[in-house]
A and B are shown apart, each in its own frame.
Chain A
Amino acid sequence: MSETGTLRLAVGDRVVYPNQGLCKVTGVDTKEVAGQKLTMVSLIREEDGAKVMVPEAKVVAIGVRKVSSSDEVDKVLEFIKSDSDKASLDWKARARTNVERMATGGLMGLAEVVKGLQVLSELRPLPTKERELYNDARHLLVAEMSASLSVLECDAEDTIDALLFPVGKERPKRTAEEFRALAGGDDDELGLDGDLMGGGLDEEQPEEPEAEAEGESAEAAEGDDGEEKPAAKKAVAAVEKKLRPREAVTAPQEAMKKSVISDVDVTMPQASPLIEPVKRKRGRPPKPKPEGPPPEPKKRGRPPKPKPDGPPPEPKKRGRPPKSASAMPALPPAGLTGKKK
């Protein structure tokens, strides 16, 4: 991706911000700062209304790009259909590659992450952090495809999954040989005995520790959202940070996804003007009460039950945070600018 090109943006343009998703350009304003003219592009993330301002000169370097064309979507679908891609068995190499794909790989990069991890999961369950990455990549891929093709997101996701989970078939199981053939054989931290389909996808793989532990301390300082993200997430974020040190602002709205947007200015409104309708307000209807006595609602917790059978072992790492100390930081007050460091 060229860092020297320019991307002319105008109010109303829809763009993709790497790792963040679809944004709409809400302003392009030139200000004078210290005698110099500086043009700032204001973006709003469609999904949740997060706002960010980026100097126009940095737009390309940051990787902001136009939504992919339908031709590009076609290529991506061709790629997903192909059976050529095998992830590296070396988890560090994999993590590095995937971080790059997420940041600079465009729509194809997202597809590569999804496809690579999908195929890997057919060999053995994904470790937690890669399961999260898989979800993040899938989320961005679906949203961009939906925008590019002007279809509902459910159709965009099903378009991909008609290839990844062909109708009427169960997913194939892979052998380590398939991977080794490509990887050159120096595996292997591979939990080959992992029970692929039945083994609890949420198991942490001891062989693949939370990546790059050294990054964590830096990230741990992040604290004013009062709570830790799952360690694995931090690690991924840390890796990412190394590659893209400019990303330095955390907006704690949505713990699900990294909310790091840019080095400039991030404002998290309490509700998204674009996608999510304004949240809850006065007077909800009388307390939810499924007809028929619900199983006694435990302390606002989840009622008894869930979990598919052959319950996957409770996650070791990503353990459910104690309710009060959830990974979900409280929403900042409206207009608060979440600035870190």
Chain B
Amino acid sequence: MIRVATFDELDPKLVKDLCKILYQAFAVGAEHSGVVTPPSGMNEPWDSHRLLREAPKVAAFQDDKVLYVTSRKLLPRKLLTGEVPTFGVSQYNGQRAVVSFAHIKNPTENVKQLARYALQELGHTWGLHHCLDPRCAMYPHWTPSYPAGDASFCVFCRETSEQKIRLAKS
């Protein structure tokens, strides 16, 4: 089960459409777990690591995934090899993922675009890595072509996620 927690009151249609796409992509149920309060003292752009660590718990089973969705900008991360724009982060093989749609115009009309970013972060929680196929949601999301792609996986990533999910359930 994918639990979608939002940091803001969002258009219910957006949340509903997002859940539907997540369900289609993973064949795992997705539902809105409600609005949660961000950790105190966060200034925009938000620190994505802190969100991962400190976002309030939502009721979930251990093999559930929790996707935190925000309309706020996330702070680009400074890595050893440079600064990378950050639209989401996640715990690999873990439970939590965060995704922001601050950069998406008309998110309600562009849920697929938001979902593409969400798919990547959730994919990481199931152990997927970045992909070579620019059409795939696991392609690095800072590439120029990324936002225009579909909210779906390439065959390799889809099969890999299926295996991982099956494994988690067994």
Residues of chain A having any CB pair with chain B under 8 Å: 47, 73-74, 77, 81, 118, 121, 125-126, 128, 131-132, 134-135, 138-139, 142, 149, 152-155, 157-163, 165, 167-171, 197-198, 200-202, 253-256, 275-281, 284-285, 287-292, 294-295, 297, 300-310, 312, 314-315, 318, 320, 326-328, 330-331
Contacts and interface: CB of A to CB of B under 8 A. Distances in A.
A171 B146 CA distance: 12
A169 B170 CA distance: 41
B144 A170 contact: yes
A328 B161 CA distance: 12
B166 A328 contact: yes
Interface stretch (B66-74, B88-96, B100-108): B88-96
Contacts, number: 206
Interface of B: 1, 15-16, 19-20, 22-25, 27-32, 49, 52, 61-63, 77, 79-85, 89-93, 95, 124, 127, 129-136, 139-140, 142-145, 149-150, 152-156, 158-160, 162-164, 166-170
A288 B65 CA distance: 13
Contact of B84 (A158, A278, A309, A326): A158
A307 B61 contact: no
| Candidate in A139, A289, A290 with the most chain B CB atoms within 10 angstroms | A290
A150 to B, nearest CB: 12
B131 to A, nearest CB: 8
A134 B27 CA distance: 26
A255 B170 CA distance: 13
Contacts of B89: 152, 154
Contacts of B153: 306-308
A307 B158 contact: yes
